């Protein structure tokens, strides 16, 4: 009995050591990833500062990120605005026996929160996944190694244009999303809740300032940074053939979405503290 207890204790101690090693290994890998992503970002910033930017590649990526993402962003935000107006109208009727503040609540919700966050998530699923899959495929097929052999930096040739495209286009997509979402809310307000369009727009505009717009607009720049950094880093560090491409793409999308939602909270705290609301 005593020997059996000793053996079990030794096994538990060994298992605990293995768990500690696993946690330590994960922490080391996380720190390595942060260091590599930081190094990549600094190299991109240096290339932009020195003017090593391919206009052709940048415009091509802007079309891919912005123009081709516009229909799905507009479609999604339109129905989000409709749902907001539907829910707000129903709630205010139950409380006040009248549909009030539909334009105000819809506008504030879209401009400050739902517009930038939902647009960033859509771009993550469409553009972020595509960036990671493309770069990861180039990595596993040794195309990146070929670029290095030719004396061309993969980051300069591939990452810079994608960084610039995301930084320019995501704020524009956010603005479009806000406008379309507010129009969707107006459609429900005027047709279902029988509120005049002039009253709806007065509710939208009377309580809003330029700071309300800037609140969500500033967030979109940080979300663009998260999307492009995570996507490019996961793509450049992919390995393991076709299976590795799939893992990198899945990890990129999930990591980006989680970081967007986490950063949204802290950005909201900061912007409210700076009275940008």
The Cα 78–Cα 1 span in angstroms is: 70
User: How many domains does one find in the chain?
Assistant: 1
Name the band, by pLDDT with cuts 50, 70 and 90, for residue 8.
Answer: low
In a domain, 198, yes or no: yes
Q: Cβ neighbours of residue 140 under 8 Å, at least 6 residues apart?
A: 238, 239, 240, 241, 242, 244, 245
Name the band, by pLDDT with cuts 50, 70 and 90, for residue 33.
Answer: confident
> Is the predicted pLDDT of residue 232 greater than 90, yes or no?
yes
In a domain, 8, yes or no: no
In a domain, 97, yes or no: yes
Find the mean pLDDT for residues 60-89: 94
Domain that holds residue 127: 61-273
Residue-level pLDDT at 21: 59
> Is the predicted pLDDT of residue 239 greater than 70, yes or no?
yes
Highest mean pLDDT among 53-57, 116-120, 198-202, 206-210: 116-120
In a domain, 239, yes or no: yes
Residue-level pLDDT at 11: 53
Q: Regarding predicted confidence, which is higher, 221 or 25?
A: 221
In a domain, 212, yes or no: yes
In a domain, 2, yes or no: no
The Cα 172–Cα 166 span in angstroms is: 10
Residue-level pLDDT at 222: 96
Find the mean pLDDT for residues 238-250: 88
In a domain, 36, yes or no: no
How much is the pTM?
0.90
pLDDT digits (tens, 9 = 90+) for 109-138: 999 999 999 999 999 999 999 999 999 999
In a domain, 262, yes or no: yes
> Is the predicted pLDDT of residue 184 greater than 80, yes or no?
yes
> Is the predicted pLDDT of residue 221 greater than 90, yes or no?
yes
Least confidently predicted of 8-12, 55-59, 207-211: 8-12
């Amino acid at each position: 009995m005593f020997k059996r207890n000793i053996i079990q204790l030794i096994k538990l101690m060994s298992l605990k050591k293995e768990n500690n090693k696993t946690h330590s290994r994960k922490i080391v890998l996380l720190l390595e990833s942060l260091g590599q992503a930081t190094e990549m970002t600094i190299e991109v910033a240096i290339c932009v500062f020195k003017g090593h930017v391919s206009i052709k590649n940048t415009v091509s990526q802007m079309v891919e990120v912005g123009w081709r993402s516009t229909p799905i962003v507009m479609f999604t935000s339109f129905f989000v605005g409709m749902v907001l107006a539907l829910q707000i109208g129903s709630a205010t009727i139950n409380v006040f026996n009248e549909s009030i503040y539909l334009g105000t609540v819809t506008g504030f919700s879209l401009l400050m929160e739902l517009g930038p966050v939902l647009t960033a998530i859509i771009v993550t699923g469409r553009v972020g996944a595509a960036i990671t899959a493309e770069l990861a495929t180039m990595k596993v097929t040794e195309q990146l190694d070929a670029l290095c052999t030719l004396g061309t930096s993969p980051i300069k040739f591939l990452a810079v244009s994608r960084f610039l495209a995301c930084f320019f286009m995501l704020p524009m997509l956010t603005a479009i999303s806000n406008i379309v979402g507010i129009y969707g809310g107006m459609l429900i307000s005027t047709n279902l809740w029988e509120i005049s369009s002039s009253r709806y727009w007065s509710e939208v505009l009377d309580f809003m300032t330029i700071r309300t717009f800037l609140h969500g607009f500033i967030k979109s720049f940080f979300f663009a940074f998260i999307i492009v950094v995570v996507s490019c880093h996961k793509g450049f560090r992919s390995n393991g053939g076709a299976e590795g491409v799939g893992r990198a793409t899945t990890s990129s999308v999930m990591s980006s979405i989680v970081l967007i939602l986490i950063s949204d909270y802290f950005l909201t705290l900061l912007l409210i503290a700076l009275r940008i609301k």
